[in-house]
Structure 1
């Protein structure tokens, strides 16, 4: 038996009820391509292959290659042995013709943000994404304005999707047992907010800059971007945002209004 590797942030799940509960969150349309990041030993992958038209699994750990190929013998399964951060997802998807495309990942804690931001960058190619992440990260992504965990990642995720905190996963469900509980979140992609910004990449960068100094007022942070305090104040007055609020008090719609005024 292969053991989980700390350097890859591996924690394996094997509980069949938990696996079913996770997969049930996906749209159950059989004409569906699933991209799985980090299949590990394939516990989730097997059930995905049973249910959907095609599963492309991306795995970095070479020791898992033989296990996955011997455990899953199906023409519906494709394994890519590569670091997911080096995969060109747009290129991967351009030849695939499915009614729906979803992404699912038991996300290694050390690259959670990178995987989520990369997923957001291909949101127009996806219907849904399901992430298993540390509970604290899940709370952050799902947080709304005025909640303590709210930050630029919360705003970015909510620009591209409807975000749902699905359920908490007790750390004892994993092997090896991690130090903290995890949670399942789902992102259902749509263009409700996306259609309101002129450039989504620049918007995400704009919001990140505003959160660089969370303790400073929104006026101070916006002044750092405009290099003009009067201009920053005019923008805030125009869109009716109190200059003394801090970034964590500003909701997604207000950030969109602010960005569109600056640009």
Structure 2
């Protein structure tokens, strides 16, 4: 089935679900609080429904669209707009650091993220966070809930920990599946991510911290003592680290706060010296 307005069929391989509810788009733009000197990055611009409203707010817009047909549609639709740059690129392969440097400004990301890349792109945002001023994102509701989850709940996991280390999180509102074409099987949510000036807690070795967190969640039902055997560290060092951190090794990863993960990984790191 082709879209009734543009004759372009949504492509499953790109995770395309076009936002068709203008009221939702207007609400997103209002929440974004766009200033005239903002450089707004929109990933998955689609048919330009959100793009158009962003331009109306007076911001410079960088719109990324991987689909060639939609890319050309956007070029035609916004051919008379000066403050827009439209890129036919894969959002997972762009250097946002270089894009920010070229724009001469940090990027404010406002986007209806394609479902099929949402988790991967979030990790990329974390890696290149210095290129951004903040995020207002529409995601699958389940992904938004995982991001905002607290310890001791089923949604809490690797993504929750990594994002909470570096950002403040707020779910702004939920969006029904009926607001999209084609209508997805799940609802969505708009989430705000504000980058912290510095990590929430000091981490001595970020690579080790990541390994500790990943190992703790890779087999969620394992105790920490068993799960962390996967680390390239002598297990007696890890047992001593539990003692020094005051963390019961029989706990599971889903019960640890970001602060406890940092404390544990810092002690393990110092034990290797």
Displacement of 1:116 in angstroms is 0.5
1:34 maps to what in 2?
A: 40
Paired residue secondary structure (1:84)? coil
Q: Is residue 2:73 matched to residue 1:67?
A: yes
1:187 maps to what in 2?
A: 193
Choose the corresponding residue for 1:148, options 154, 171, 187.
Answer: 154
TM-score normalised by the chain length of structure 2: 0.90
**Native 8 Å contact 1:34 1:103 kept in 2:** yes
Matches of 2:258 and 2:167, distance apart in 1? 12
Query: What is the RMSD computed on CA atoms of the aligned residues?
Result: 1.7
Structure 1 residues 58, 201: CA separation in 2 closer, same or farther (over 3 Å shift)? farther
Higher mean displacement: 83-92 or 100-109: 100-109
2:242 maps to what in 1?
A: 236
Matches of 1:143 and 1:233, distance apart in 2? 28
Matches of 2:137 and 2:215, distance apart in 1? 26
Choose the corresponding residue for 2:99, options 68, 92, 98.
Answer: 92
**Residue segments in structure 1 that go unaligned for 5+ positions in a row:** none
Matches of 1:157 and 1:3, distance apart in 2? 34
Deviations 1:9-28 (A, max 9, x none): 10111222101211223243
Structure 1 residues 202, 49: CA separation in 2 closer, same or farther (over 3 Å shift)? farther
Deviations 1:134-175 (A, max 9, x none): 111111111011111100011111111001111111001101
TM-score normalised by the chain length of structure 1: 0.93
Displacement of 1:232 in angstroms is 1.6
**Residue segments in structure 2 that go unaligned for 5+ positions in a row:** 1-5
Deviations 1:105-125 (A, max 9, x none): 212222211110111111122
Which segments of structure 1 move beyond 6 Å, counting only runs of 4 or more? none
**Native 8 Å contact 1:33 1:52 kept in 2:** no
Q: Is residue 2:171 matched to residue 1:162?
A: no
1:209 maps to what in 2?
A: 215
- Number of aligned residue pairs: 262
Matches of 1:59 and 1:75, distance apart in 2? 18
1:101 maps to what in 2?
A: 107
